[in-house]
Amino acid sequence: MKRTLALSTILLTTILLGMVPLYGQYDWSWQNPLPQGNQLNSVHVFDANTVIAVGDAGTVIKTTNGGATWTPQTSGTSEDLNSVYFVDDNTGWAVGDAPFWENAHIIKTTDGGTSWNAQTSGTINDLESVYFTDAST
């Protein structure tokens, strides 16, 4: 009985130690869909090649080759972004959710979506859509 117990213990230890490399890997990378997997909620189409999309978890991605490749942009927020709108090729806004501890998110870009700056919304309600008739209205 002791011999069977000892062999079982050795076998179990060997199996568990053999699994360590399988679960000890920390170099995971996103594979599909690239470049990210968050839900996208809104797009702004500049032309046949250039598009910006925004979505959950502060996602902002941009393509300049008709969607063949997409580049993640840094939005500065991890809250969901619900809508994006540009008044010209450089100036645009994206709006999103309001977590219970702060105001709804508004971010603005003046360089075509490469960088974004937080704006003050003044509301604790989620913002679902944004649209401008011109650069100041």
All structural domains of the chain with their residue ranges: 40-119
Please check the confidence at residue 7 and state whether its pLDDT lies above 60: no
User: How far apart, in whole angstroms, are the C-alpha atoms of residue 99 and residue 55?
Assistant: 15
Name 51's Cβ contacts closer than 8 Å, sequence gap at least 6.
Answer: 43, 44, 45, 62, 63, 67
- Residue 9 pLDDT class (50, 70, 90 cuts): low
Q: What are the backbone dihedrals phi and psi of residue 14, each rounded to the nearest 5 degrees, phi first? A: -60, -45
Contact between residue 52 and residue 44 where contact means Cβ atoms under 8 Å apart? yes
pLDDT at 4: 52
Contact between residue 109 and residue 119 where contact means Cβ atoms under 8 Å apart? no
pLDDT at 56: 95
pLDDT at 94: 97
pLDDT at 18: 54
What confidence tens digit (pLDDT) does each residue in 104-132 have? 999 999 999 999 999 999 999 999 999 99
For the chain, where are the E strands, in sequence order? 40-45, 51-55, 59-63, 71-73, 81-86, 92-96, 106-109, 117-119
What confidence tens digit (pLDDT) does each residue in 36-77 have? 889 999 999 999 999 999 999 999 999 999 988 899 999 999
